[in-house]
Amino acid sequence: ARPGVVRGDGHSDYGAVLRQFMDEQAGGLSRDCVVIICGDARANYRPERAELLRALRGRVRAVHWLNPEPAADWDTTDSRMRAYRPYCDSVTEARTLRQLSAWVDKLM
pLDDT at 1: 47
CA distance 47 to 49: 6
Average pLDDT, the chain: 92
5 — pLDDT class (breaks 50, 70, 90)? low
Is pLDDT of 22 > 90?
yes
Sequence-separated (6 or more) residues with CB below 8 Å from residue 99: 92, 93
% of the chain exceeding 90 in pLDDT: 77
Residue pLDDT, tens place only, 27-73: 999 999 999 999 999 888 999 999 999 999 999 999 999 999 999 99
Give ∠ CA 91-105-67 in degrees, rounded to 5.
Answer: 25
pTM of this structure = 0.90
